[in-house]
Chains A and B, each alone.
Chain A
Amino acid sequence: MIDSIIPLIYLAAAVSFILALMWLSAVATARRGVILGVAGMALAVGGTLLKPEIESYRWIAIAFVAGTAIGIPMAMMPMTAVPQRTALSHAFGALAAALVGTAEFYLRTPNLDRFTMGALSLEVLLGFLTFTASMMAFGKLQEILPTRPITYRGQNVINLSLLGLAAGAGAYLTARPEATWLFPVFGALALVFGVLLIIPIGGADMPTVISLLNSYAGLAAAAMGFVLNNKLLIIAGALDGSSGFILSVIMCRAMNRSFTNVLFGAFGQVQPDALSEKEQRAVRSATPEEAAGILQAAGLVIVVPGYGMAVAQAQHKVRELYDVLTKAGIEVKFAIHPVAGRMPGHMNVLLAEADIPYDKLMEMEDVNSEFPQADVALVIGANDVTNPAARHDRGSPIYGMPILDVDRARTVMVVKRSMSPGFAGIDNELYYMDRTLMVFGDAKGVVGNIVKELSGGR
């Protein structure tokens, strides 16, 4: 009886997940989507708990309590820490898949048919490599590990041969599931490959890499679905897999780069010779007081936030600035580059957290036509995504990357700590233009001072 109901419960869960993602497409319905997602997960968990195969609930209950106790604080992290948190949750998801795969292997070997063993190898390979890769990404985002890419001679050869070895071990196990001695080696190869994969990847490439890891974690769950012959797992895993894949393609396009280039290109190394050869060019700098004066006279101000704003935690000061300017009748918009920050949509969440209405947040394609009408483009902590060299300098590493046309505004104001180059390690010619004013200092302090000046001046 129960056995014939459970598949229906799983089907209802699958439908809930699909609808949840459909409703996420617009802000108005998105919260409803999350609630439906929760309902789907409750159905899936409830249905599984009804299965007669379960002998004891003791360990399941303990794990539920432990997982909830860790999950709640992870959901309460500040919005600036969302990229790290996401990397960490990819690690947990992938580890769960890898552990289940390992347990299934030892339970069933050598009675595994080729197909099941093939799916199991894939599950374990993706699970373990995504686990260590996500932990490395977490370390880099949390700045426990150096964020600059680390490269050494023969890196790509070593990485690719390691992946080849792991795939070979997986293939051998698929043919001979009784070779239990090979399984720990296989798992270890996947774990090491995950670490090596992230070592050469720099901070600016994190949006792509996080999306890719999101996709891998989903595919590992889908592979588990093939091992357990469970369609719900296949559907949910495929949805996650395609979502992560689409996001990483969007990120790659927004940087005009290919997957191979992101994974093996070690973008963002400082090019010392290129930097030292440049003669010192003059820049115009301004004080926050002068900046406030210019802003006061403007009609349309477009703010361009970047990772620097997140680092300085300046989003609440930016909101105060938005309030003062709006009250003075000045129109304020925000221009969001797809790869601004450390994960897709990072800036939107930060600004929403600071209570900036989301209809003021504009995507690159929509906002670029407005820069020529803008009196001031205020760049806060963004760098490479505003570099006009991407449009015309064929020699530049970011040539061809779509950028925000900040240089077309009447006045460009750049809030920046110093003249040091961005993550791509290249000089930004925007800073040397006649209409550009550099306001040096910590983003939070500078924006705070501008706000003080503006509200005191009236």
Chain B
Amino acid sequence: MSMELELGLYVFVLATFLGFQVIRRVSPLLHTPLMSLTNAISAIAVVGSILVAGEQKTTLSTVLGTLAVTCSMINIVGGYLITYRMLRMFKKSGKGRS
């Protein structure tokens, strides 16, 4: 097993454990915003997409990369915005009701 792979697997397993611990604490009240936020975070695929679109090695890779950047960007913009919009709606009793 290469060093890179070993390191990658360690990172993956530890991040998964951390994810379990962190997510378990999220109140069911916020499960919908949680899903839209994690969805925005997993649009981190934008990193790979930008490289493929920007390297311009072949026409095929540029086309696929550009499409991938578009898809990721939809999730980044849409995901964070809607999460913020939802969270702004949660109010406690007797506070800021019109």
Contact = CB atoms under 8 A, between A and B. Distances in A.
A99 interface: yes
Q: In the complex, which range does the number of interface residues on chain A fall in?
A: 35 or more
A407 to B, nearest CB: 23
A75 B78 contact: yes
B8 A68 contact: no
Given A86-B35, A242-B16, A66 B30 contact: no
Contact of B35 (A66, A96, A222, A344): A344
Nearest to A131: B71
Contacts, number: 373
A95 B60 CA distance: 16
Contacts of B69: 59-60, 63-64, 67, 96
A346 B36 CA distance: 12
Contact of B32 (A225, A228, A233, A344): A344
A314 B11 CA distance: 46
A225 B77 contact: no
A104 B31 CA distance: 34
A113 B64 CA distance: 22
Contacts of A117: none
Interface centre among A63, A344, A357 (most CB of B within 10 A): A63
Interface stretch (A21-29, A257-265, A382-390): A21-29
Interface string A301-338: 00000000000000000000000000000000000101
B15 A234 contact: yes
A248 B89 CA distance: 25
Given A38-B80, A344-B35, A359-B93, A228 B48 contact: yes
A355 B32 contact: no
A93 B30 contact: no
Contacts of B53: 59-60, 63
A115 interface: yes
28 contacts: A25-B26, A31-B84, A37-B40, A67-B69, A67-B71, A67-B73, A71-B77, A75-B80, A93-B42, A96-B49, A106-B58, A107-B61, A220-B45, A221-B45, A229-B8, A240-B39, A240-B41, A241-B19, A242-B15, A242-B16, A242-B17, A242-B20, A247-B35, A344-B28, A344-B35, A357-B92, A358-B91, A359-B92
Q: Which 6 A-B pairs have the closest CB atoms?
A: A67-B73, A71-B77, A242-B19, A345-B31, A54-B54, A75-B81
